């Protein structure tokens, strides 16, 4: 079941975020900060898009996006992925796909005209296939340098 996240989900969102963050390039140069993530998740829940996936009554996945004016035309609104995570023991169950499907109506309801999802350097190849099968087009690649 995919549902809107609530403030009651903050502990599990922070816990899953810690798991997610450990897999990213960013974890090499900045420690995970639970208070920062709790504030971020609260903002997403209250003002943007934050969904949770449940399997057998347990939250096992999440997706969160900021909804904001498009930077080159404020007449358009974008929804920009912050996090998309499914616990490893629930991967392969279709939860990731269901989360991806659920963001479209949630983002539309927040006024978004586009959705931008992220492909991390270590994302599994199936992520690209999933995006493309669902109508997403490769729009940019980013590079990060620590200063």
pLDDT value at 123 more than 90 = no
- Distance from the Cα of residue 87 to its chain's centroid: 13
Domain span at residue 60 reads 2-133
In a domain, 118, yes or no: yes
pLDDT at 146: 85
pLDDT at 88: 93
In a domain, 29, yes or no: yes
In a domain, 52, yes or no: yes
Task: For residue 84, name the pLDDT band (cuts at 50, 70, 90).
Answer: very high
CATH of the domain at 69: 3.40.630.30
pLDDT at 127: 87
In a domain, 36, yes or no: yes
Total domains in the chain come to 1
In a domain, 60, yes or no: yes
Average confidence score pLDDT of the chain: 95
pLDDT tens, position by position, 107-122: 999 999 999 999 988 8
Residue 76 to residues 29, 49, 61, 113, Cα–Cα distance (Å):
34, 17, 29, 6
In a domain, 38, yes or no: yes
Partners of 66 in the β-ladder: 80
């Amino acid at each position: 079941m995919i549902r809107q996240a609530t403030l009651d989900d903050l502990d599990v969102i922070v816990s899953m975020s810690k798991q997610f963050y450990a897999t990213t390039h960013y974890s090499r140069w900045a420690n995970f900060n639970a208070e920062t993530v709790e504030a971020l998740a609260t903002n997403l829940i209250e003002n943007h898009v934050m969904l949770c996936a449940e399997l057998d009554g347990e939250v096992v996945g999440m997706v969160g996006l900021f909804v904001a004016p498009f930077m080159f035309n404020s007449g358009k609104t974008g929804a920009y992925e912050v996090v998309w995570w499914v616990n490893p023991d629930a991967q392969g169950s279709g939860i990731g796909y269901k989360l991806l499907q659920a963001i479209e109506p949630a983002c539309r309801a927040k006024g978004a005209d586009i959705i931008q999802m992220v492909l991390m350097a270590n994302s599994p190849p199936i992520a690209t296939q999933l995006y493309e099968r669902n109508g997403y087009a490769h729009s940019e690649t980013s590079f990060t340098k620590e200063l």
